[in-house]
Amino acid sequence: PNIARRPGLNAVDLFRAVADGAVKAVWIMGTNPVVSLPDADRVRQALKACPLVVVSEVMADTDTAALAHIRLPALAWGEKEGSVTNSERCISRQRAFLPPPGEARADWWILSQVAQRMGYGEAFGYQHPAEIFSEHAALSGFENHGARAFDISGLAGLDRQAWRQMAPLQWPVNAQHPAGCRRLFSDGRFFHPDGKARLLPITPRLPQHAPTARYPLVLNTGRIRDQWHTMTRTGKTARLMRHISEPFCALHPQDAAALGIADGELTRLASRHGWMIARAQLTTDQPRGSVFVPMHWNDRFTAQGRVDSLIPPVVDALSGQPESKHAPVRVDRWPVCWQAEIFLRDAAPPPPGVYWSRVTQRQATHFIMAGQQPVTEWAAWLQQHFGLEGLTLQSASLSQHGYHLIGWRQGAVQLAFYARRQALALDRTAILAAFEQAPSPGAARLALLAGRAAPGQLAQGRTVCSCFGIDEPQILAAIGQGCGSTQALGEALQCGTNCGSCLPELKKLLAQCAGRRVA
C-alpha cells in the first residue's frame, strides 16, 4: 500500500527541496553531489543546513562525507556480491574477491538493518543478495503480460547456489526466452498493444543561458584520461597524478591573447553561480569562444577548483539530466605575487589564504601553491605553516624573488621548497627520489637545492604514458633516434601498448617532430 505511485524528485530538485527545508533528512549512497551536481555551492549549503545527512561511502574523506552527521562504511566493487547489467542488457554475476574491511557492509545489508529497526522487519528480512535478486526478478514479470521489455521473471526461482553459478545472459528471460534474448524486436513487434513503435519527435533548442557581454565564453566540463568522476579514489594514486597534476582550463590562444592570459598562468573562471581557479592551458584544439575544464577536482585536492559550482541547475524536462556541458563564464587572469611547490615527508594541511593543489605522491606530501600577497621572509612563512624545528636548513635566494630551501634531519630530506614569481620548472622525479635515498654531499645536494636531477642523471619531464611511467623527454629522444610511429615507440618504450589512452599524445608528439624536420 505504500509503494510510490508517481516519480520522486530528481537529483537537482531534491537538493532544492533540502535547501527549502521540505526535505529534512537525506541518505546519500555511492555519489559525491557536493562536487558532481550543478550549482554545487548551493548543494553544499543545503547539506550544511539539513537536520540529518547520512552518507554511505567507501572513502572516509570526501567533500560530501565531510558534511555527514552519520557515515556508514560501504563495500567497494571488489568486496561485494551481486549482479551488474550493462548497456546491452547483459546480466552478469559480480563476485567478491576481497574480504570486507573493518566494519564495512553491503548496501543491501545496511538498508535492511535500518528498515528492521524502523519496524519493517517483515518486508526487509533479507539474509542474502540472492533473495533480493529473486524478488526483483519476480517484480519484473508482475502485471507485465508482454507490456514491458524488461522481464527476468524466468530467474525468480533461483536458489542461492543457482544464483552463484548464474552465467551471463541478456534479458528478457521468461517463458518466451528461457535462455535470454540476444536481440530485441527481431519479430518486428514493439511493446505496445498494436506492436508498433512510438517515435518521439524532438525539437532541438539552444541552451537556456546564452553568452553575454559579462560572461562571453562557453564553459564545457568533461573528463581527462587518468581520473574518474570526483577522483575520490583515482586521486589517491600517484601514477595517475603525474600526467595532469592540477585543475586547468583549456583556451584557444586567440581568446587567451584577448584576455591577456599566457600559457601556464593561473586564471579565475566565474559564472552567475560561482567561481574557481585553474591553470591556463592554451591549445588550438579548443574552439574559439569556449573553455574546457575537467570535472574531477574537489576540495580534498585543491582550493576552489570545483567546476560544477559554476554550472547552472538547468535540467531536461523529461529526464532531469543537468545541462552540465554548457555555462556562460568569464575568464580572467588571476594575478599572483609568487608561485611555489613544497614536498614534505610528513602529512600536513595546506596553508590558508593561498591557491593550492595537492599532488598525490608515494614518497611525500606535495603541494603546488600560489599567493596574491607578497612574502617578505620565506623562512618565517615556512616555520609558521609547516614548521622547521629540528631541521638543518640549506637555502638559496635567487633573482626574480626566488627562494629554495631543503630541510634535513639526520641526513634524510624532510622538506624541499621552491618559490619564484612565475611557475616553476622542476624535476619532480629527482626531488621525490631524494626522499627515498638522500643525495650525497656536494653536486648532488646542490642539484636538489636547484630542483634538478643530479649531474649525469637524465632529467625527467611530464609523464605521457602513466601505465609504464614514460615521460616526454624519453619519447622525444626515441623519435629522434628513428621511432617514427606509435608502433615503433611501443616496441622501444612500451608506451601506448597497455590501455592505449596515451596514443593521441604520442601521435601529436610524432606530428610535432615531423613538422620540425620539414621546417
pLDDT single digits (tens) 63-104: 999 999 999 999 999 999 999 999 999 999 999 999 999 999
How far apart are alpha carbons 388 and 344 in whole angstroms? 11
How far apart are alpha carbons 345 and 362 in whole angstroms? 10
CB atoms within 10 A of CB 159: 11
Q: Is residue 467 classed exposed, middle or buried when 0-12, 13-18 and 19+ CB atoms within 10 A define those classes?
A: middle
pTM: 0.88
How far apart are alpha carbons 64 and 36 in whole angstroms? 10
> Please, what is the Cα angle at 483 between 430 and 452, to 5 degrees?
15
- Asked if residues 484 and 476 have their Cβ atoms less than 8 Å apart, the reply is no
In this structure, the strands spanning 52-57 and 25-29 are parallel
- Per-residue pLDDT at 107: 95
Please list the rounded mean pLDDT of every run of 10 residues in the chain (519 residues). Answer: 85 95 96 96 97 96 96 94 95 95 96 95 93 96 90 94 95 94 92 91 90 96 92 90 92 97 96 96 95 96 94 90 94 96 94 94 94 93 94 86 91 95 87 91 91 78 86 89 92 91 90 71
How far apart are alpha carbons 16 and 432 in whole angstroms? 46
How far apart are alpha carbons 393 and 409 in whole angstroms? 9
Exposure pattern of 484-509 as b/e (b: 16+ CB <10 Å)? Answer: eebeebbebbebbbeeeebbebbeeb
- Per-residue pLDDT at 404: 96
- Per-residue pLDDT at 519: 46
- Per-residue pLDDT at 515: 72
Q: Which residue has the cell 517483515?
A: 122
- Per-residue pLDDT at 517: 58
Q: How far apart are the first and last CA of the chain?
A: 77
- Per-residue pLDDT at 400: 66
Helix residue spans in 451-519 (DSSP H): 472-480, 486-493, 503-518
How far apart are alpha carbons 37 and 33 in whole angstroms? 5
How far apart are alpha carbons 279 and 248 in whole angstroms? 4
Average pLDDT, the chain: 92
How far apart are alpha carbons 465 and 195 in whole angstroms? 52
